[in-house]
Structure 1
Amino acid sequence: MPIVDLGGAERWTNYHGTGTAERAPRFALRSGDAERGRDELAAAARDVQDWLNAALGEGRRVRPLGAGWSPSNINIASDAWLLHTRRFNRCFRIRPDDLRPGSGADPAALMLVECGALVDEVSDKLEGQGRSLWTSGAGNGQTFAGACATGTHGSMVERGGIQDHLRAVQLVTPGGIYWIEPAAGVMNDAFIAATGSTALRDDEIFAAAQLGVGALGVVTAMVVDSVPKFLVRPIQNLRRVERAALDWLAAGDFRRFSATYALDRDPAFVQMIVNPYKPFTRPAMLRFLYAEPWRADYPRATAGELGAGYDALSLLGGLLDDYPWARGALLQYAMRLGYAAGPDVDDPPVYGSWGEGLDTHRPLANLFNASVTIDRADLAYAFELICAAYARHGGSTVVTLRFMKQAQGLLAPARFPDNAVIDFDGPRSARTAEAYARVVDLLDAEGIAFTRHWGKSCQLDAARVCTDYGEDYRRWRAARDRLLPDPAHRALFGSAVLDGLGLTDG
């Protein structure tokens, strides 16, 4: 299972075609055939550490790449050595005698996951064992490690981000191979030693490693937690939403919102996609998921029948730029065309597992992808202001609203006790980027606290990261410096983007 030199310094483009690394020597980490996961991790980690020290000796920076999913340039590093991890993707069960005595962990709930495994692959493996992830992003084409590293937000109203699933992380630096866990510990010392790692049970370092933004080292493996498998029933419809409904959402009265626009039940997931041009006049696309106990005899449905998929707006990019006077009407047409196909209240119910309701986007060239996360309590005041500013300055995407609890990890964007995540996803254009910048300026002018998704167009710098994350940012940097005490090692994992965010030393 050596690291394979893919040869040459070539151009690499991310999955959605929104960023390119020039003159990048490429390498690949590939799974072996060891029977036990701990043995495979020991060999892989040694190879990765040797590769890191070779890069250091050559004066090159490094960038691990999974699925290349992030539309931002967070994973772009020209002239760096690129390590493709996508084929290092095996998953292993954990035995009861692998756990640390007194940990209280359930071995049936845990799985050892190599860093290149996709969210989709992890979900499928768990569901085959009668288990499930409890949240994830709208798609499932990211590697699990990459989704955690960028703070991919979930959308379950009582859950946080995807990194909340992590119980342990194997992290490789030039100076060490570390098995990082909370202070209470999860895996026993014999297991950790067999992975070739040094045990590092430390709450602060674990909270940093849960969401490392690729700046702490190479994550080679994770222990992922799960819940018993469950069903979801989706409801998806177009409804005109009253302004008063924002007050219900801001207060967390999801039951009242659901009863008004879908079912009189507590929803597990609430999403509202609005046309920022007259958001309370034109119908919004509403999506609800209702969790139900697992039963094996439910009628199977396709991802499309379950309402998955968010790609319709990519078809209208040229029209939205060419005919700015018609943006509102064209956006509404796209919403009717692409987002209203899911089952409504009066349709026969359809059901699926959590994983079955997710889909992998096809690559979306010319994608604009940005978001802000605010305290849910600010929603009623902020949302209409945001839509008005975005429309006034020519934004050419819909505006999507979802909800989640505070996420784990020191640099988690969902850092408020209750969060409203507002996404601006659709065709890329200069007008749309300018409109998003004006939204950010407006929030600052109004004194509304917010954060931005690390994997999207975030328009951040080090000063702003320090302001947004405050003491947690200082704690993250302190944890980084303990893991990487040598400034040369910190610089090794950097890039122009990460240096500019104050996460690495350039």
Structure 2
Amino acid sequence: MAKTVFFEEQRWTNWHLTVRDVPIAGRFELHNSGGSASIARMAESAAAVQLLLGRACREGRRLRAQGAAWSFSEAAAIPGGWCLATGHANWLFRLPGAHVVPDYPFDREGLILCQTGISVAELNMFLEGRGRSLATTGASNGQTFVGAMSTGTHGSAIDHPAIQGQVAAFQLLPAPDLNLWVEPASRPVTDGRLAADLGATVVRDDALFSAALVGLGAFGVVHSVLVRTVPRFLLEMSRERRPLTAEIEKAMNGGGFDAAGLPGGTRRPYFFQSVVNRHIDAGHAYVTVGYDLPWEEDQKLDYDLVNKRGPGYELAVVVANLLSAFPGLSPPITKAVLSDQLKPFKARKRSWGQSFNYTTPRSGTAGAAVAVPTERTLDALEILQRAMKKVGKVPAAFACRYAVKSPGLLAFTRHGRTTIVDIDGIDTVGTRKLMAQAVADLRTQGIPHTEHWGKVNQMTATSVRDAYGDDLEAWMRTRTDLLDRQAEYVFGSAFLDRLGLTSPTF
């Protein structure tokens, strides 16, 4: 039988060591039943979680499901509560097309049921070996899919939403006696057989789907998700150091790529990233561009999960390599460092899952990210450069990636065309000051922005309310309608209490 196993641990630290030694009441691990994966055993797993939820409600103990504990922020922390580690619960199933409603508008053969602890890396390897692919992911592959979804982790494909945009439905455990299969009423997916096999009740509700999609753990335990996939494809990536011309700036600011002189000419990229840092390499940008191509049958699927110079998200890798080269120190990120680490390459073809790094070093790095309307990209970068000047040079740098408005009331990428401006660096006092100054100056200058839920942030109850407005009110109202008073407390956290999203009162 599936079970939760208790460990008498008193302190919790996240993966990247940016949140350390949080006092907890213990840690549980969710383990599947022995034997082969099956939907019936998935139902047993959900029941095991619900037993634990019942105990938490009876004892007034907060409980937080944690995937890879990947967030730089306190999003996964649960001071004084119980951690529920889900990484061992990582089964995957292809949903038969016959179980999909007749008028479903997407590929009915491409739906995959993912258990709560599946990592993005595991999902990529499962899919691509079977001729399918995710359309987008975040910067790394080490997160669990559910954790990335629940914090609204942004994607990195310019015409796609964040990672949660690929979710068709999900299984939510909001109480000891509630097991819900949640689909949007406006786009139903399954015919009910899957939910029945999972022991769940089908709930088709646009409001609940939109609220709990980026639920921050506050709606209950997401036990499984049904993910839309696409036929696998190749990403042809190139990178070069370019003069920061008006044409490149126009592309960065959403003005189009036709005149930018990119490797694909006037063809629209699938992926576009610019690393632009006046304090390091004035007048230049490191531009990475990727184009989607049809799959080639001789393409080898060899996942180098520790490749530190992959064509994916390079800036965090630069920081990681610096830490490896200078252990115990905080060296500056210089022009020479960027030139060495961000070497040019041309027309490198890989699958989507092969194009991004599995992990970054656990210790010493810190990342923040703000999302702004793409037409304000250059304004935001100028403000960040001025913030750098105010605090003095610190071991940090800036990069821009792109996505479109994403589903979920509390989606971080909420502008029609969104630029994600990353601030990555070595975790020093100066780097943290830069992150705080940058956000303060964006607020002062009136640049519309949101902060990444899962990265180092300066969020307050006021800033969250200003950023999300009516969507925040709808999120909170939907949560209140779903949960009883005990569950409202159990699924809260100190992080969410501070932001006014949950209450510390039992």
- Same fold at TM > 0.5: yes
For 1:387, the equivalent position in structure 2 comes to: 385
Per the alignment, residue 125 of structure 1 pairs with 126
The aligned counterpart of 1:206 is 209
Shift of 1:280: 3.7
Deviation by residue 1:434-466 (Cα, 9 ceiling, x = unmatched)? 122111121112111100100001111222111
CA deviation profile, 1:8-43 (whole Å, cap 9, x unmatched): 133222111121332331111112357674312321
* CA distance, structure 2, for counterparts of residue 13 and residue 321 of structure 1: 20
Structure 1 Cα separation of the partners of residues 36 and 59 of structure 2: 35
Paired residue for 1:292? Answer: 293
CA distance in 2, matches of 1:419, 1:397: 22
Displacement of 1:149: 0.7
Distance in 2 (alpha carbons) for counterparts of 1:88 and 1:166: 19
The residue identity in structure 2 corresponding to 1:247 is K
| Closer/same/farther in 2, CA of residues 194 and 337 from structure 1, 3 Å limit | same
Q: How does 1:296-335 map to 2 (within 5 A)?
A: 296-298=297-299, 303=304, 304=307, 306-308=310-312, 310-316=316-322, 327=332, 330-335=333-338
Q: Distance in 2 between matches of 1:17 and 1:54?
A: 30
| Cα displacement (A) at 1:104 | 4.0
Question: Is 2:26–2:82's contact at 8 Å kept on the other side of the alignment?
Answer: yes
- AA aligned to 1:360 is Y
> What do the CA deviations read for 1:226-248 (whole angstroms, capped 9, x no partner)?
11111011101222212553233
Structure 2: distance between partners of 1:431 and 1:19: 17
CA distance in 1, matches of 2:278, 2:32: 46
- 2:181 — aligned with what? 179
Partner in structure 2 of residue 220 of structure 1: 223
Residues 235 and 10 of structure 1: CA distance in aligned 2, closer, same or farther (over 3 Å) = same
Secondary structure of the corresponding residue to residue 6 of structure 1: strand
Cα–Cα, structure 1 residues 192 and 23, in superposed 2: closer, same or farther, change >3 Å?
closer
Look up the match of 2:63. 62
Quick one: distance in 1 between partners of 2:88 and 2:300? 34
Higher mean C-alpha displacement, 363-372 vs 198-207: 363-372
CA distance, structure 2, for counterparts of residue 299 and residue 350 of structure 1: 13
Does the 8 A contact of 1:63 with 1:81 survive in 2?
Answer: yes
C-alpha contact (below 8 Å) 2:247/2:259 kept by paired residues? no
Q: Which runs of 5+ in 2 are unaligned?
A: none
Give the C-alpha shift of residue 264 in structure 1: 4.9
Match of 1:12 in 2: 12
**Equivalent residue number for residue 490 of structure 2:** 492
The count of aligned residue pairs is: 494
Unaligned runs of 5+ in 1: none
Q: Which residue of 2 aligns with 1:169?
A: 170
CA distance in 2 between counterparts of 1:33 and 1:263 reads 54
In the superposition, relative to structure 1, how do residues 383 and 203 fare at CA in structure 2: closer, same or farther (>3 Å)? same
Q: Is the 8 A contact 1:153 1:161 kept in 2?
A: yes
Q: Specify which of 166, 191, 195 is matched with residue 192 of structure 1.
A: 195
CA contact (8 A) 1:331 1:398 kept: no
- Distance change in 2, residues 1:7/1:364 (3 Å): closer
Aligned-residue sequence identity (percent) comes to: 32
Match of 1:377 in 2: 375
Distance in 1, Cα, partners of 2:267 & 2:329: 43
Give the stretch that moved more between structures: 193-202 or 96-105: 96-105
Post-superposition CA distance 1:39-71 (Å, at most 9, x none) = 123211111111011012122111111111111
- Residue 243 of structure 2 is aligned to residue 240 of structure 1: yes
SS in 1 for 2:25: strand
CA RMSD, Structure 1 to Structure 2 (Å):
2.4
Following the alignment from structure 2 to structure 1, what is the Cα–Cα distance between the partners of residues 42 and 5?
19
Deviation at 1:314, TM superposition (A): 3.4
Residue matched to 1:30: 31
Query: For residues 48 and 35 of structure 1, do their structure 2 counterparts lie closer, same or farther at Cα, with a shift above 3 Å needed?
Result: same
1:194-228 deviation digits (Å, cap 9, x = unpaired): 21111110011111121111111000000000111
* Cα distance change on mapping 1:237 and 1:248 into 2, 3 Å: closer
Change beyond 3 A, Cα 1:4–1:298: closer
- Evaluate the alpha carbon distance shift between residue 198 and residue 302 of structure 1 in structure 2; reply closer, same or farther with a 3 A threshold: closer
Q: Write the letter of the residue equivalent to 2:289.
A: F
Q: For 1:148-163, list aligned pairs within 5 A.
A: 148-163=149-164
Residue number in structure 1 paired with 2:354: 356
Q: Give CA-to-partner distance per residue, 1:244-268, whole Å, 9 cap, x none.
A: 53233323403433x2577553211
Partner Cα separation in structure 1 for residue 239 and residue 353 of structure 2:
18
> Match of 1:361, as an amino acid?
T
What TM-score results when the alignment is normalised by the length of structure 2? 0.92
**Aligned to 2:495, what secondary structure does the other structure show?**
helix
The equivalent residue for 1:39 is 40
Partner residue, 2:413: 414
Superposed displacement of residue 170, structure 1: 0.4
Say if 2:439 and 2:458, in contact at 8 Å, map to a contact too. Answer: no
SS in 1 for 2:31: coil
**8 A Cα contact 1:235 1:262, kept in partner:** no
Partner of 2:143: 142
Q: Which amino acid aligns with 1:220?
A: H
How far is 1:176 from its partner? 1.1
Distance 1:321 1:362 in 2: 16
Q: Distance in 2 between matches of 1:498 and 1:307?
A: 35
What amino acid maps onto 1:231 in structure 2?
L
Q: What CA deviation, in whole Å up to 9, does each residue of 1:264-322 have, x standing for no partner? A: 532111111122416543x3222111111111124777754752454232354698998
